[in-house]
Amino acid sequence: MSEPLYELRQVEKAYHGRSVLHIDELAVYPGEILALVGPSGVGKSTLLRLLNFLEPPTKGTIMFRGQVFNGQQEVPLAERRRVTTVFQRPFLLNRSVKANVAYGLHLRGNRDSREQVADVLARVGLQDQAQQRARTLSGGEAQRVALARAMILQPDVLLLDEPTANLDPYNVGMIEEIVRQMNATQAMTMVLVTHNIFQAKRLAHRVALLLNGRVVETAPTDTFFNQPGDPRTAAFVRGDMVY
């Protein structure tokens, strides 16, 4: 395997002195889709915030593209802008659909984004809604706008935090297909947080199980589901885990 894109060592995150995440070691490789699974409240979303550099770790180091960051130093804007997240809720701005999609490019000083916006809107099937106000969209449409808004940035890493929870099967299928395509055609690295093990199975190359803020097991998808190394993974995959 190639050099990892991310490498976390002894990373700990605590809020008000209470540790919610403790990762001894975790690597993310370029071009892969890594799924983080586990019951809710085990620190999956916290981990994504660390990977997006939205918050610094309390302890430990995060290596990203060969540079090592601990909680002390500011991550350079240029590095931070290589990563973006699509959250469970779309969080659209109270503007038009196309303004929402163009937002990230505008932040980067790119004013002439009309063609790119039209292009990504077509890819998520919303070319006709470009002029519409974002708040008039349905839940599925809004999440597709959120995805388009991230896609247009061509990030090195796309973080997906339960992107299809609460969506209907049509929208789930559509979003999964777009994600798979982006990964296949652009070799975009993705970290997917999901509590849906079937989604992890459908999309991911590797899967990691988190329990109580710790990584229990990381394995290629096939191994993870068919020959889990840890009894807790086996229980989780069988659906026996009580949570």
Partner 1 sequence: MEVVALSLRVSGTALLVSTVIGIPIGAFLGLRRFVGRPFVMALLYTAMGFPPVVVGLLVYLLLSRNGPLGQIESAWIPRLFTPEAMILAQSVIAVPLVAGFTMAAVLGVDPQLQQQIKSLGATPWQEMATTLSEARVGVIIAIVAALGRIAAEVGAVMLVGGNIDGRTRVLTTAVVLETRKGNFELAIALGIILIGIAFVVNTTMLILQRQVSK
Partner 2 sequence: MNKKWLWFVAIFVLALMVAGCGGTAEPTAVPTDIPAPEVAPTDAPAPADTAGERPRLLLATTTSTENSGLLAEILPAFSQEYNVDVDVVAVGTGQALQLGVDGNADVLLVHARAQEDAFMANGDGSRREDVMYNDFIIVGPPSDPAGLQGMTSATEAFTKIAETQSPFVSRGDDSGTHSKEKAIWAAAGIEPAGDWYISAGQGMGAVLTMADEQQAYTLSDRATYLALTLEGTELVILVEGDPILFNPYGVIAVNPDKGAHIHADLANQFIDWLISVPTQELIGNFGVAEFGSSLFIPDSNAWRESQGMEPHSN
Question: What is the identity of the amino acid at 3?
Answer: E
With binding defined as CB under 8 A, does residue 108 bind partner 2?
no
CB proximity list for 37: less than 8 A, separation 6 or greater: 44, 194, 195, 197, 200, 207, 208, 209, 210, 236
Residue 73 CB, nearest distance to partner 1 (Å)? 16
* Residue in this structure with the two tokens 């077509």, named with its chain if needed: 122
Q: Is 63 in the site for partner 1 (CB under 8 A)?
A: no
Applying CB under 8 A, which of residues 46, 84, 129, 171 lies at the interface with partner 1? 84
Q: Which is nearer to partner 2, 49 or 149 (CB)?
A: 149
User: Could you tell me whether strands 18-28 and 6-15 are parallel, antiparallel, or unpaired per DSSP bridges?
Assistant: antiparallel
- Of residues 117 through 176, those in contact with partner 1 by CB under 8 A are 133, 149-150, 153, 159
Nearer to partner 2, 99 or 165 (CB): 99
* Residue 213 is a binding residue for partner 1 (CB under 8 A): no
Per CB under 8 A, residues contacting partner 1 are 49, 52, 54, 77, 80-81, 83-85, 87, 89, 91, 93-94, 103-104, 107-108, 133, 149-150, 153, 159
Per CB under 8 A, residues contacting partner 2 are 95-96, 99, 102-103, 106
